[in-house]
Structures are given as structure tokens and as C-alpha cells.
Amino acid sequence: MTEKTCESALAVDSERLWNSLREVSAFGATPGGGLDRLALGDHDRAARDHLVAAARERGWAVAVDPVGNVFVTRQGTEPDLPPVLIGSHLDSQPLGGRYDGTYGVHAGLEVLRALDDAGVATRRSLVLADWTNEEGSRFSPSMLGSAVYSGAHDLDAALARTDTSGATLGGELARIGYAGAWGGVPRRLHRALEVHIEQGPVLEAEGVDIGVVTGVYGIRWYDVSVRGEGGHSGTTPMALRRDALVAAGAVVRAVSELADRLSPELRATTGEIVVSPNSRNSIPGSVRLALDVRHPEDAVLDRAERALEELTADVARATGTEVTIEPVLSQPPTVFDPRAVAGVRAVAERLGLSNRDLVSGAGHDSVHLARVTPTAMIFIPCVGGISHHESEDIRHQWAVDGANALLHAALDAAQESED
């Protein structure tokens, strides 16, 4: 990819950004080139400490809230004005990639450094955030830190969440030294901006530099329980069986065909199957399926839910089994603030970066921030669209383009006088 030319001389230090990403990737590095940096583990603590040390080296204020979100503030000339917030998260999936979330935090760090180096004073303060437990891989639900900050989740309930070993989120915050308080934490924001890898193949496939994210898909999760009748695999005739796994397989297939029936933008996935008794020579008596259904419109999600109810009833009748479906999560679609989105689009044009609008199929902390402040996101391509995997990768120039877009979008917002 050829080097971009910017109409403004203000830009991030491309080598420092790349080195910063390389350095932080050492915390939780896996042999396969990815990350295993679960929230509030020792590797997450090391990555947080690394960020805090970089902030204090510059003399920036650091605050930690009660759920462990870290806030680094570069003070503006009018510090009483609501600040502009940038940032993402440092925790990863187990055997995840090096850039999901981490890129957004360190691109934000580089934005603050670039402004410092250029001696640029901003009217509003700029705040860099590292959100706790975005991935939800260790503590459920995902995006827990930003949910508490925005008021979407109760603090005490969050602190009481446990991992598979029984450790609580509150206990782990105390263990790693990141159990904070609300003092010094910005509670009213002017705007929030998050830069992130796309986690999909569109930008790379189309050769587009920047994704201007207009919103995030709505998400609904369901648990499907299938109850049949167990038995001996060698003695029960096929015609007399009520095989729960056969019925579950029919549900899985029907779920995968929902997009063909309802909308090409629908994403419907069976992500988990639990079979009992799960023995080679026993007929499965029960199966649990975990379903994930996503679309940018609530109306289509409603139609998908009705279709799921109908198809599970059809499968039950056809197989002689009992099939029930239980909703477990309903996250409505998020539409980002039109003015904030337009600001990102204008910056991309100003910097000579090709761009296109996108709706994110993945959830992000910006979903919760959009509840409390005008919010927008910036996507950069990732190689092959691969994410949540050790092979997740980005190109140097993509990283620089996204950081420069974040720099100028944040700077524009930080110089605004009106709320």
C-alpha cells in the first residue's frame, strides 16, 4: 500500500505506534502469534501497568473507576468542559488476536503522544479509556466495564460475577491492584470515538482504507433445549427412536437457512452444542443449543424470533421430541450519532483516505457509550477478515491510517465549544 499524503502536517509517529503495538503484544503472547490475555489476569495487569507507565511518563492524570476501567487524561485549556473520550480494551479472547481492542487503546495513546509532541493545546480534555472485560471470555457478560460506566449494568452485580474457577471480578480487581473509585473519573462526555479492526473481510476485499461505522447490529441470544429419549444404540430400532441429536441437527440446519428466508444481512449461528449422555453407543436423550442471531433492524430480529419459534415447533412434531426455546439476551441495534459519524467521514476525506459506511456485526464498548454521549467508530481492515484467532493481523499502513483518522476526529471534537 502506498503512503498517504495528508493535507495537515499533524500526524502520528508511525514507527512509535507500531513499536507500541509490538511491545504490548508481549503480555499474554501465545506460541501461535496471538494473545491469551483474559480480563483481570496477570497478563491483563501487565498490559494495564504498561499503559499507566506510559501515561505517567508524560505527566497525564490516571484514574481507575470501581469496575477497573482505566482513564488517562490529557488536560485541555478549558478542563471544566466535558471531555472527548477515545479508547477500547486490552483484554483478549483465549487464543485470540493481537489487535482486537489493543489496537484501539494504543492508537489512542499515540494520538495523545502526537498532540503532546506537536505542542497542540485542545479546548477540551482528551481521555483515553481501557475498558474492563470487553470480551466477556472470563466474566459474563461482555462489555461489562463500559456497561457499568454507562449505567446499563449494576456495579455490585458486576463485582460479584464469577469465572469458571469461582473467582469474582471484584476480588480479581483487588488482586491485580485495579479496584478504583469514581473520584477523578469523567462522568459527562462531549463525544466518544473508538478505532478498531473491522473483524470482517469487507474493507480489505474492497481496498478501502477506513470504515465509517454508522451503528452496530442488534443481538439476540437463545438457548434451545431438545428432549428425546435415550437408549441403547444397538437395540433400539431406528423407526422407534426419539433421538434428541437428530432433532437438534434439524434445528441447526434451519437456523443456518434463516438468512435466505428473511434478509441477507441476518447473521444466525449455532455456536454451542451440549449432548447428553455424549457416549458413542447411547442414543442422545437431550441436547442444548446456544444460538446467536444478529441484524441491524429490530423488525427483522422480531421476524427471526417468530421464525425460530415456528421451526422449533415443526422439528418437535416431526421428530417426536420436546423442543423449547428461551431468550437469554436482547441487545437492540445501535445507531451512532449522525454528527459524530459525519465528522469521521469528513476527516477521512480530508486526509485522502478512501472510506465507506459500515454497520458492525460485532459488539463494542461504543454500544454502551452511545447511551450516554454522541459516539462514532472508525474501522481499519484486518487480513482476511480474521479475528478472535491467533492469526488475526493488520498491515502497518492500515494501523497508521486509522490512528491518523482518530487523531483528527478527536482533535476536531476537542476544539468544539458547544455541547
Distance between CA atoms of 192 and 146, rounded to whole angstroms?
12
Pairing verdict, β 191-197 and 375-380: parallel
Per domain, the residue ranges of the chain are: 14-216+333-414, 218-331
Helix 102-118, helix 396-414: angle, nearest 10? 60
Tell me the sheet residues that pair with 356.
211
Per-residue pLDDT of the chain (419 residues; tens, 9 = 90+): 334 434 458 999 999 999 999 999 999 999 999 999 999 999 999 999 999 999 999 999 999 999 999 999 999 999 999 999 999 999 999 999 999 999 999 999 999 999 999 999 999 999 999 999 999 999 989 999 999 999 999 999 999 999 999 999 999 999 999 999 999 999 999 999 999 999 999 999 999 999 999 999 999 999 999 999 999 999 999 999 999 999 999 999 999 999 999 999 999 999 999 999 999 999 999 999 999 999 999 999 999 999 999 999 999 999 999 999 999 989 999 999 999 999 999 999 999 999 999 999 999 999 999 999 999 999 999 999 999 999 999 999 999 999 999 999 999 999 998 76
CB 78 within 8 A of CB 123: yes
- What is the DSSP code (8-state) at residue 242? B
> What are the backbone angles phi and psi of residue 361, rounded to the nearest 5°?
-85, -15
How many other β-carbons are positioned within 10 Å of the β-carbon of residue 338? 11
Please name the residue ranges forming H helices in 58-91. none
Helix (H, G, I), strand (E, B) or coil at 18: helix
3-state secondary structure of 175: helix
Is omega for the bond preceding 141 within 30 degrees of 0, making it cis? yes
pTM for the whole thing?
0.91
Quick one: CA torsion of 165, 145, 358, 300, rounded to 10 degrees? 70
pLDDT of residue 418: 75
Amino acid symbol at 104? G
The alpha helices in 320-353, defined as continuous H runs, are 338-350
Fold (topology level) of 14-216+333-414: Aminopeptidase (3.40.630)
Q: How many angstroms from the chain centroid is the CA of residue 235?
A: 49
First to last CA, the chain: 39
Nearest 10 degrees: CA dihedral of 198, 200, 201, 203? -20
Q: Which fold has domain 218-331?
A: Alpha-Beta Plaits (3.30.70)
Nearest to 14 by CA among 99, 114, 159, 87: 114
How high is the pLDDT of residue 8?
A: 54
- Residue 216 C-alpha cell reads as 452496530
What's the CA gap between 269 and 183, in Å, rounded?
42
CA distance readout (Å), 80 to 62, 83, 123, 386: 17, 8, 10, 42
For residue 199, the one-letter residue type is Q
Q: How is residue 205 written as a grid cell?
A: 476485499
d(CA 135, CA 130) in angstroms, rounded, equals 12
Give the 3-state secondary structure of residue 247: helix
Tally Cβ neighbours within 10 Å of residue 15. Answer: 10
Alpha helix segments (H runs only) across 134-232: 144-150, 155-159, 169-176, 202-206
pLDDT tens readout for residues 65-106: 999 999 999 999 999 999 999 999 999 999 999 999 999 999
Report the alpha-carbon distance of residue 86 to residue 98 in Å, rounded: 19
- Percent composition of the chain: helix, strand, coil (DSSP 3-state, to 5): 35, 25, 40
